[in-house]
Amino acid sequence: MQNSIVSQSASTAVEQLREKLPYTLKPLANIAYNYWWCWTGDRISIFRNIDPEAWDRLEHNPVAILKYADPNRLSQLASDPTYIKRVAKVAQQFDRYMNEPQTWASRVAPQISRDRPVAYFCAEFGIHESLPIYSGGLGILAGDHLKSASDLGVPMVGVGLMYRQGYFRQRLSVNGWQEDYYIDHIFEDMPLQLMTDDNGEPIVVDIELRQRRVHLQIWRAQVGRVNLYLLDTDRDDNDPIDRWLTGHLYGGNQDTRIAQEVVLGIGGVRALKALGITPAIHHLNEGHAAFSTLEVARQEMIATGKSFYDVEASVRERCVFTTHTPVPAGHDAFSGDLMESYFSNYWPQLGLDQEQFMALGARRLGDPWEPFGMTVIALRLCRTANGVSKLHGEVSRKMWNILYPDSPVDKVPIGHITNGVHARTWTAPLMSDLYAQYFGEDWSSRMADPQVWAKVHEIPDEELWWRHQLLKERLIAYTRNKIRQAREEAGEDHYWIENANQLLDPNVLTIGFARRFSTYKRGYLLMHDTERALRILTNMERPVQLLFAGKAHPADEQGKRILQRLFEWSRQHPHLQSRVVIVPDYDMYTARKLIQGVDVWLNTPRRPLEASGTSGQKVCFNGGLNCSILDGWWCEGYQEGPDGKGLNGWAIGEDAHTSDQDLQDKIDAESLYKLLEEEIVPLYYDRDANGIPHGWIRMMKKSIETNGQAFNTDRMIADYVAKVYAPGTAIDLTQLRSSVLA
């Protein structure tokens, strides 16, 4: 049944695009509908070269670029021998990748099969900017998870929501205030396929929301060998209010949030059944998908005739959970009244009364006012739970010890698997080319092997430096163009529009800070002592420049104010006007430019509120250095020398910690200023006669060597296989092999 559905769905969209293309370009249709193309620059360029201006205007969407391309241009390319060979080569690579007979996972964990895959549930997925269903780190991690699962051959399907307008877009007013707006996405012009049956009719599953039937249709995005299924309520046969349930990511109130999580969890399990997919494991990536455990139980009760409590152990065996935040507000919990309005007709289907049902999500049993916690039910009904760094595992065990009153904190059954990044997505082609020369052409298929990364010291300093400088120049050119456009659209005066052409200097130490603007991430920390910061930034002999990017949640007035303060500060002093830049509307494309081009990546969260963080990991693959609070992954990544100084980056504040937030800000700001003044800036500007900073490059190489091998999603997926998906599987990371991409 599954194969029939997939082939019918695929034939419609792909074949329509193939029919439009000249004979020699027809293979591009299949490639455009599979996000495999976005993992290396040479494949991206095959679409960009069709029309570079349209490529940017269409947000790097290969389906749209082919669909709306000038027929004359397509005819020109179709008769160009060089371009024809490029298409044929890419098509051959794609075919070999998709049909590889034996993968790493099929060798080491054959018990995970295509017939019984891992179903990976998440509220957002960051695959590429042309599929804007992500807001930040959780989604980017989920996208990278699917990509490495595909590369390693782990049988997996993703389950998420298809948001009509996605996360909000951002612009800054002439006063620096964040303005939020949304745009409609045309799914039919995206690398998506509507799932249909053998008669060409959309496959639809139903759920009940407050006594209303809501119909869900299913879109498929192909991520290499992994299918990502996305649920959509925007149908004519739904109530107008229900059509908007999948309108915005993280928008609306508690009502919207619980409805979306019912769609994701209960609707997601029903969608997989309708597609003929029987997962061996349901992986809940964050608590948003925790209602899926209830639907797994309901379906098993129907199949076996057993009670909820009789199937509970079986459900637990088939469900696993990853928690992503130590911030209490990040754990969804719903009031009893709200739960009753959504589940009063559902808990009888589980053979439970209201009290029994609510107890599944209650932190304190017997408290009638206790809200229903999504993390709580996930912990209760999943056989494994893990945080996303070593420190986050420790914090999570303390946070949820209340659920395990008979266990000491260190015995609470929450482990950790430290996050990584999909290096083949985030490493600049210029750096990938360098690694291929010195590590071997297959370096990216042996990501977790320390022997690969040890070869970084063979790279001549001059070679590494000029490539890094080119990437910084590209970042600056991109930033100037983006800022100029933003200022023109905001109606700023001529001075500020022209000023965009003078922003930043490729010869100046460049620090990047890009993440969600919430108070605990402390985007303002560098401004703690504005006079001292000004002296550091505007030093005539050894200047420093800053790039900020990120969005504050639409309801987060404090986060918006932080952004505005940075904006105002950047315009106070003539020298700061070209040294401090805020890049608006942060997305995956801007992220790649930033992490590939900055010298230093700054991270300043209140410890221990950074569960993991992955942006700094991406920087490592591109030669950038981290300067971060010792929180999340950096506790594991940072290495210190005998002299107490960092070998592969810098740690802010050491282990100093106090509950007095103002005092903590002062301590950490002082540490940051001292690092900049005494270590970072002097090291960067210590050059030889040819302008090469050998001491700085030594640290770059150490960062690449130590962090590249550990903080990649190939290693992460191998950990999930060994500890979660197929516990007990023996893993040798030196033998970890992803699919050959060249």
- 24 & 46 share domain: yes
What token pair was written down for 339?
């739960």
> Rounded distance, CA 280 to CA 154, Å?
12
Q: What is the pTM (predicted TM-score) of this model?
A: 0.96
- 50 & 111 share domain: no
Average pLDDT over residues 542-546: 97
* Phi, psi for residue 650 in degrees, rounded to 5: -135, 145
Q: What is the DSSP-derived secondary structure letter of residue 432? A: H
In a domain, 733, yes or no: no
Contact residues for 628 (Cβ-Cβ < 8 A; gap 6+): 601, 602, 603, 604, 613, 616, 634, 638, 649, 650, 651, 652
Nearest to 13 by CA among 32, 41, 35: 32
- 119 & 69 share domain: no
Sort residue 453 into left (φ over 0), alpha (ψ -120 to 50) or beta.
Answer: alpha
Q: Say yes or no to pLDDT of 549 above 50.
A: yes
pLDDT in tens, 691-742: 999 999 999 999 999 999 999 999 999 999 999 999 999 999 999 999 865 4
Confidence tier at 369 by pLDDT (50, 70, 90): confident
In a domain, 2, yes or no: no
Confidence tier at 592 by pLDDT (50, 70, 90): very high
- 209 & 86 share domain: no
Number of domains within the chain = 3
Question: CB pairs under 8 A, 24+ apart, for 561-564?
Answer: 562/517, 562/519, 562/523, 562/524, 563/172, 563/176, 563/177, 563/178, 563/517, 563/523, 564/175, 564/176, 564/177, 564/178
Cis amide linkage into residue 279, ω under 30° from 0: no
- 89 & 164 share domain: no
The chain-wide mean pLDDT, for the chain, equals 94
pLDDT of residue 565: 93
In a domain, 716, yes or no: no
Element (H, E) at 394: helix 390-399
Contact residues for 624 (Cβ-Cβ < 8 A; gap 6+): 512, 595, 596, 598, 599, 600, 601, 700, 703
Alpha carbon 391 to its chain's center: 20
Contact residues for 629 (Cβ-Cβ < 8 A; gap 6+): 603, 604, 605, 606, 607, 610, 651, 652, 653, 668
In a domain, 126, yes or no: yes
Look at residues 48, 71, 99 and tell me which one is the last residue of a structural domain.
Answer: 99
pLDDT in tens, 221-268: 999 999 999 999 999 999 999 999 999 999 889 999 999 999 999 999
Q: Say yes or no to pLDDT of 1 above 70.
A: no
pLDDT of residue 677: 97
The single residue listed with the structure tokens 């304190």 is: 364
- 586 & 679 share domain: yes
Contact residues for 444 (Cβ-Cβ < 8 A; gap 6+): 423, 424, 427, 432, 435, 738, 741
In a domain, 731, yes or no: no
In a domain, 294, yes or no: yes
Look at residues 46, 65, 99 and tell me which one is the last residue of a structural domain.
Answer: 99
Confidence tier at 355 by pLDDT (50, 70, 90): very high
Element (H, E) at 542: none
pLDDT of residue 327: 79
What token pair was written down for 666?
């002062």
- Asked if residues 188 and 64 have their Cβ atoms less than 8 Å apart, the reply is no
pLDDT of residue 673: 97
CB atoms within 10 A of CB 561: 17
- 587 & 635 share domain: yes
- 196 & 66 share domain: no
One DSSP character per residue, 19-47 reads HHS-GGGTHHHHHHTBGGGGGSHHHHHHH
- Asked if residues 334 and 371 have their Cβ atoms less than 8 Å apart, the reply is yes
pLDDT of residue 188: 93
Pick the residue with more confidence: 78 or 573?
A: 78
Q: Say yes or no to pLDDT of 656 above 70.
A: no
Confidence tier at 575 by pLDDT (50, 70, 90): confident
One DSSP character per residue, 302-343 reads HHH---HHHHHHHHHHHEEEE-----GGGS-EE-HHHHHHHH
- 33 & 151 share domain: no
> Rounded distance, CA 56 to CA 533, Å?
36
pLDDT of residue 3: 40
Average pLDDT over residues 190-215: 94
Burial of 357 (0-12, 13-18, 19+ CB in 10 A): buried
Contact residues for 305 (Cβ-Cβ < 8 A; gap 6+): none
Q: Say yes or no to pLDDT of 2 above 60.
A: no
Look at residues 99, 121, 155 and tell me which one is the last residue of a structural domain.
Answer: 99
CATH number at residue 623: 3.40.50.2000
In a domain, 252, yes or no: yes
CB atoms within 10 A of CB 689: 5
> Rounded distance, CA 618 to CA 41, Å?
16
Pairing relation of β-strands 118-121 and 156-161?
A: parallel
Burial of 72 (0-12, 13-18, 19+ CB in 10 A): exposed
User: Terminal CA-to-CA distance of the chain, rounded, Å?
Assistant: 34
pLDDT of residue 364: 85
pLDDT of residue 658: 77
- 388 & 477 share domain: no
3 state DSSP class of 709: coil
Average pLDDT over residues 407-416: 96
**Which residues in 430-453 are b (16+ Cβ under 10 Å) and which e?**
bbbebbeebbeeebbbbbbbeebb
Pairing relation of β-strands 193-194 and 169-172?
A: unpaired
pLDDT of residue 152: 97
In a domain, 166, yes or no: yes
pLDDT of residue 11: 62
- 396 & 430 share domain: no
> Rounded distance, CA 738 to CA 153, Å?
8
> Rounded distance, CA 479 to CA 369, Å?
51
* Domain assignment of residue 464, given as a range: 423-711
Percent of the chain past pLDDT 70, that is, above it, reads 97
CB atoms within 10 A of CB 481: 13
- 21 & 160 share domain: no
Contact residues for 274 (Cβ-Cβ < 8 A; gap 6+): 203, 204, 205, 218
